[in-house]
Structure formats: structure tokens, C-alpha cells
Structure 1
Amino acid sequence: MTSPLRWTGILLAAGRGRRFDASGQQDKLLQTLADGKSVAQHSAHNLLAVMPHMVAVTRPDNAVLSDQLQAMGIVCLVCHDADAGMANSLKCALRATADSEGWLIALADMPMVKPSTITQLCDALQAGAEIVVPVLNGQRGNPVGFARKYLPQLLDLQGDVGARSLLKSDLVTQVMVDDPGIHQDIDTPDALVDYLAAMARAEA
């Protein structure tokens, strides 16, 4: 008996984050937030809250991050050629989950995305949308989603542009959300400081 197809969440966590620290000494994904959890753990938690079937892609030299995510019950896939571009990390996850109905692709340096946004995107996919992107104030953000029919095109991607070429398609469904987090990543030390300040204000 064939198992039913299911939707899969993909957390891309294999980047080196050179803008955060050009020396590579500090990994932005491992930066500890006020609750003691890392940036990547927060991003993973938000995706996992909506998509219990998910995988994360990490680098072979980042065992600490893999251990953190595996402790959350997340399957970690090590991408040995991740440094050649984001497309390689994405394809690593897609090959491992090729039996999925489709995928929601999230970035591990975006811990501010609301689970409600992820739910809206998943609902749109399940309602028949083929490609989905969240939009706030006319500007697209992340995460993005693809139906199974796009697997061949996704596996043909190259370099560090990810799935941007496919997102130019006329078949993209824009999902309007009330979530500034779709535009906010922890890409620099200043961005981390701003995020910590925002968390402190929210808890005050």
C-alpha cells in the first residue's frame, strides 16, 4: 500500500552568513536569544508548529546546529556542497523528500515569521495554488511554497539564487499577510540587536 503524499517544510540552515561575520567565527544561526534558544531554533519552531513533517539542511562542519535541531525532533540533512550555493542546499532537501505533495521553504535566519503566516501559505497550497509567496505592503517575502509539479524545475536550479527564477512566474499566488517578519532576517549584528530589542519590548 502506498503512503499518502504529504506537504513538507524545508528549513535552509547551511549558509555561512558572511555578512554577519566575514571571518566565519560567529555563526548567526547559533546566536543565543533572550530565552536561551538560537536564531535557528526559533525559525525551526515556527515552521514546526505548522508543518510537523519537516527537514533542515545544515553544513557538515556545523554539528552544534544539527544537534540543536535534532533535539527538536527535526530530521537534519547534511549538504556537503552547500558552499557552492543555496540551490544545492534546497536540492538536497528536495531529493530526500521527493515523495511530498509540495514544499514550504523557510530560511533559518528569519525567526520573526509568524506561524499564522505559514498556515496561510499552507492553506493556499492545499487549496490548489502552485507557487505561493507572502506579501506585506506590496513587497514579497519568505517563506515560499511550491507544489509537487515544480520538482523538476527546482532540481534544475544552480548557484546562489535559490528559487527566485521560478518566483517570477505568472502562476505565483500572492498571499497577503500582516507579518513584518517575512522581510526581516538576522543578516548582520545590528539586525540581531534590533531583534533582541523587539523581543524585549514584546515581553515588557
Structure 2
Amino acid sequence: MTTGIIVLAAGSSSRLGQAKQQLVYQGQTLLQHALQAALDSTGTPVIVVLGAKAEAILPQLDSTQVQVVLNPAWSEGMASSIRTGLIHLQQVSSGCTAALIMLCDQPFVSSDILNRLIQAHQENTQQIVASSYQSTLGAPVLFPEKFFAQLLQLQGQEGAKKLLGLYASEVISLPFPAGATDIDTPEDYAALKAGETK
């Protein structure tokens, strides 16, 4: 029973004004931090989906450990990156029983959080396992193989969250309060850095 990890990092960070993948926090870029958490977890393989600014981001990645996939349709929205990552996962790991989808802008994601999601999947193999924070469910989120077809049908700005609503009775939630912190604006990043210096 193996869980592949897909890190979504193809967006243009339009609200931020610079590539969020390259923002530095605690000595690493946000993307490097996300990938390290994935690599330190029990999930394998680790796939990162790049799109906007891929040329600038690629040199900062260790491509010996992670599989880099380029999404030429990144401007369509998050759905295209989910499809790109999942298609690659199915090609390189045909025995994969689940896909864990991560974002690159949640600085408090750790291998421990990811391992708890994977462990919950192993105990409930047909259930979606989502993180819960601020009265909502979201990423990182794990989907068993039976939901892959639905993930591949997502369009435009639709994220995996759509499926959490459609299949609410099949979702297990794990508390991850710090998951509410993500970096979308300069103010978000300033607040994160301010917390770092306390």
C-alpha cells in the first residue's frame, strides 16, 4: 500500500507579486520546505508540479530526490496541476493506492502531519483524509485510488476541495490548526517573518 505525494507549485502568485515558491522561511524556500517534509514522510514517490517561473525554480530543487513535472497549462488553474501530477503518478507508480496532495505555501506542514494522513489512510483505505483548520477542510489531503477519476475531471480553478464537499460522508478529518496559515499576499509573508523573529 503506497501513497504518492503531489506538491502543487505551478501558480504565478499573482496576489503576492513574486513567486511564493521562492520565498525564504527559516533558511529554505517555501517549496524546498514542502518538498523536505514530503521526502521525510513515508510517502513515495514525491512529485512536484511546476508551471509559472519554472526556469527560475528548477535550479533550487534536488531532482535526484523529487520528480519534477511541468504543467504547460498552469494558467488554467489548480485543476490542471492536479491532473498533471496525478497522470504522472499513475505512469511512474502503477501500484500506488493513494495520492496525497500538498500546496507549496503552507509553511507549517511537516512530515509528521503527512505521516498521520498516510496512517489514517492505511486504517481506512477507502476514505478521503483531509486536514481540518478554521472550521474548514483542506490540504494537505489524501485521496484513495477510487477517487482518481474524479480528480482528473476537475476543471479550471477547481481544487481538490470540491470533492471534499461532494463526498463529505467519505471524508475523515485530522486536526491541523497551523494549516490555516498560507502565503497569498505580502501581508501574509510579513506576518510569517514577524513570527519567525519572536
Normalising to structure 2: TM-score of the pair?
Answer: 0.88
Q: How does 1:54-203 map to 2 (within 5 A)?
A: 54-59=46-51, 61-71=53-63, 73-98=65-90, 99=94, 100-127=96-123, 128-136=125-133, 138-168=135-165, 169-177=167-175, 179-201=176-198
Q: 2:38 aligns with which of 47, 52, 55?
A: 47
Residue 144 of structure 1 and its aligned partner are, at CA, apart by 0.7
Q: Quickly say closer, same or farther: Cα 1:191–1:94, change in 2 above 3 A.
A: same
SS at match of 2:168: coil
Q: Could you say what secondary structure the match of 1:73 adopts?
A: coil
Residue by residue over 1:102-158, the C-alpha shift from the partner in whole angstroms, topping out at 9 and shown as x without a partner, is: 100000111212322211111111112421111246432321110011111111111
Amino acid at match of 1:195: L
Q: Higher mean Cα deviation, 59-68 or 140-149?
A: 59-68
125-134 or 73-82, larger mean C-alpha shift: 125-134
Deviates more, 1:127-136 or 1:117-126: 127-136
Three-state SS of the structure 1 residue aligned to 2:10 is: coil
| Aligned partner letter, 1:14 | A
Q: Is this contact kept in 2: 1:70–1:76, CA < 8 A?
A: no
- How far apart in 1 are the matches of 2:174 and 2:25? 29
Do the aligned partners of 2:3 and 2:44 also contact (CA within 8 Å) in 1?
Answer: no
Q: Secondary structure at the match of 1:158?
A: coil
Higher helix share: 2
SS at match of 2:139: coil
Q: State whether residues 19 and 53 of structure 2, in contact with CA within 8 Å, keep that contact through their aligned partners in structure 1.
A: no
Deviation at 1:52, TM superposition (A): 4.1
Work out the percentage of aligned pairs sharing the same amino acid.
27
Unmatched runs of 5 consecutive residues or more in structure 2: none
**RMSD value over aligned CA atoms?**
1.9
Distance in 1, matches of 2:162 and 2:29, equals 31
Question: Does residue 29 of structure 2 align to residue 38 of structure 1?
Answer: yes
Higher strand share: 2
